[in-house]
Structure 1
Amino acid sequence: MDDSFPVRVPVPDLRDLTAGNTGIPGVWSLDSGLPGPRAAIVSLVHGNEFQGAAVLARWLRAGLRPARGSLTLVFANLDAFARFDPADPTLSRYVDEDLNRVWCPALLDGGRDSLELRRARALRPALEAAEVLLDLHSMLWPSDPLMLVGRAPDALDLARRVGAPPVVVLDGERPEGPRLIDHAGSAGSGPPRLTFLAEAGPHWEPETEAVSEACAAGLLRALGMLHPAAGAPDVQPEVWAVSRCVTAASRHFAFTQPFRGGVVIPRAGTLIARDGEAEIRTPHDDCMLVMPSPRVMRGHVAVRLGRRVGARG
């Protein structure tokens, strides 16, 4: 597999936006003055995944205001982004540790220190105030775009109405650590927060920014927060549920071929990888490979396996 990662898009200039308008660097609050949802859209949780940030920057410079409710826009890991180098673009994912693996009270309220933990603690009040949260990401390895959601029925209903990306995956927590969308921080005394993570496509490809914008705009449209109001999306997404999370148990995990994320393996029992002496086979027919990682460390997720919602067996 080719391990070169060309950067085919310009790196956005965010210098005029890093101060924010809330007292928290990189956090912008836009209030309609009318009742409605409290939504947050987050970018740059990983410093080298900046195409969602390019969308939010364009919106802020264009003077976006929600039609109702309030909208918080976040540029999360600005320190990691400041280190981005197109000549070696994978090195600026984070500074000390992954900002998307620290979102639980034990870590946020504990005594451990890192640049990313300090940033998570600073962002926490703004993010916990949101009733609906969308986290914009992109992917290192080839994969079709998808939306990851928790298993709350209301979250799935809203994801269907967003309309982009065209694949929705009902996901569980990652063994490497809790992500922002796993964080159960309270948005008040109402129903649980609805959280979504959009994997908008490969890093540094032009179409990934377009998918990021379609997803973010689709969420605001579904919440009635866009001027002018728009109808439902033309295409209803496919819905899949993670049936198994495959974690590498050895340093010798390897797929049998260079699978692209989103590929569907028709038959149960198909050999897809070897983990040392162990064989990894599909547990059911029509098994989707969700974001397979061909370079995975022991103890990290190599692939999630998905079953189409409504399928039997």
Structure 2
Amino acid sequence: MHQVRSPHAGPHVAITALMHGNEYAGAIVLADLLRLGFAPRQGTLSLIFLNLEAFSRFSPTNPIRSRFMDEDMNRLWGNVHGNLSRPSSEERRVRQLLPYIETVDRLLDLHSMLWPADPLILAGPSQKGIDLAVRTGTPALVIADSGHSAGPRLIDLPHFTRPDSPACACLLEGGQHWSYACLETTRKTVSSFLAISEKDRKATEPHPPQIIAEVTHRVTAQTGLFTFTQSFHGGDIIATRGTLIATDGNDEIRTPYDNCLLVMPNFRTARHHTAVRLARVQSMPT
């Protein structure tokens, strides 16, 4: 964790990377900021590399293995104070970081995706998260959602979602793992996010028109036989209600309304894991 302070009062802004040890585009961008000696004009900037243990065992021959050491860190940001006996590397790291994270006013968590999909910002369950994503301005797709049944993400922390707290957070899914396009998207989003603090307004660079959509259904695989009907792309919009998009054993998964947006379909879904999220578009570019 690296902290840079300005002599001028201002917000505590944080950017986190390596929540998953094989998603290193964000880490490259944070390392570049450190090499350049970037310092905020006001307030405090924290650059946090979350799961260094998982990253330390990254291998190009088995890149999925380094996603985590013991369990997915981004399902542990809940009541960690109540499970003192859990022998997890990720749980210990969350406990170490949580008191500091809860001093942050504005946070951007950097991720990438296994399957081809349009870059997006996950705004979490609060209007504050949506507002932060819109102010950041890029990528063009903003998704409001309530996370995963397996556990809360960093952006789901009550510190960031409580109505009585001014703190806010959002999560970038910059594109497909290990791609140059993902790295460039991550750089652009970080630059725009920092510009909010530096100028207290959107970056002067024009942003693409944004689509805002709200997740209405989280489809969880109930069997080990979950199969999509075709190779959908994250961000695809299915025009017609009732369209068959997948089967889960004997169950059919169909779109619940017209113009249903598919969020991050997972083509290697394990039982009880999220297979896809279905979102209703709230606003489109005019």
What SS does structure 1 have at the residue aligned with 2:111? strand
1:242-261 → structure 2 map (5 Å cutoff): 242-261=215-234
Q: 2: distance between equivalents of 1:267 and 1:153? A: 28
What SS does structure 2 have at the residue aligned with 1:81? helix
Query: Which protein is richer in helix relative to its size?
Result: 2
1:121-160 → structure 2 map (5 Å cutoff): 121-160=95-134
Structure 1's unaligned 5+ residue stretches are 1-26
Aligned pair 1:83/2:69, yes or no? no
Count of aligned pairs: 283
Paired residue for 1:289? Answer: 262
Q: 2: distance between equivalents of 1:236 and 1:70? A: 30
Q: 1: distance between equivalents of 2:198 and 2:212? A: 23
Per-residue deviation, residues 260-311 of structure 1 (Å, max 9, x unmatched): 1111100000000001111000000111110000111111110000111159
1:141-290 → structure 2 map (5 Å cutoff): 141-185=115-159, 191-224=165-198, 230-231=203-204, 233-290=206-263
Q: 1: distance between equivalents of 2:205 and 2:11? A: 18
RMSD: 2.1
Paired residue for 1:22? Answer: none
After the TM superposition, which segments of 4 or more aligned residues of structure 1 sit over 3 Å from their partners?
185-190
TM-score norm. by structure 2 comes to 0.93
Structure 2's unaligned 5+ residue stretches are none
Relative distance call for 1:33 and 1:210 in structure 2 (3 A) is: same
* Counterpart code for 2:113: M
Relative distance call for 1:290 and 1:187 in structure 2 (3 A) is: closer
Per-residue deviation, residues 248-269 of structure 1 (Å, max 9, x unmatched): 1111110001111111100000
Q: 2: distance between equivalents of 1:121 and 1:127? A: 10
Per-residue deviation, residues 170-217 of structure 1 (Å, max 9, x unmatched): 011210111111111379996342111100000000111111111111
Relative distance call for 1:225 and 1:113 in structure 2 (3 A) is: farther
What SS does structure 1 have at the residue aligned with 2:198? coil
Per-residue deviation, residues 235-255 of structure 1 (Å, max 9, x unmatched): 231111101100011111100
Relative distance call for 1:139 and 1:108 in structure 2 (3 A) is: farther
1:26-45 → structure 2 map (5 Å cutoff): 27-45=1-19
Percent identity, aligned pairs only, is 44
Is this contact kept in 2: 1:32–1:65, CA < 8 A?
Answer: yes
TM-score norm. by structure 1 comes to 0.86
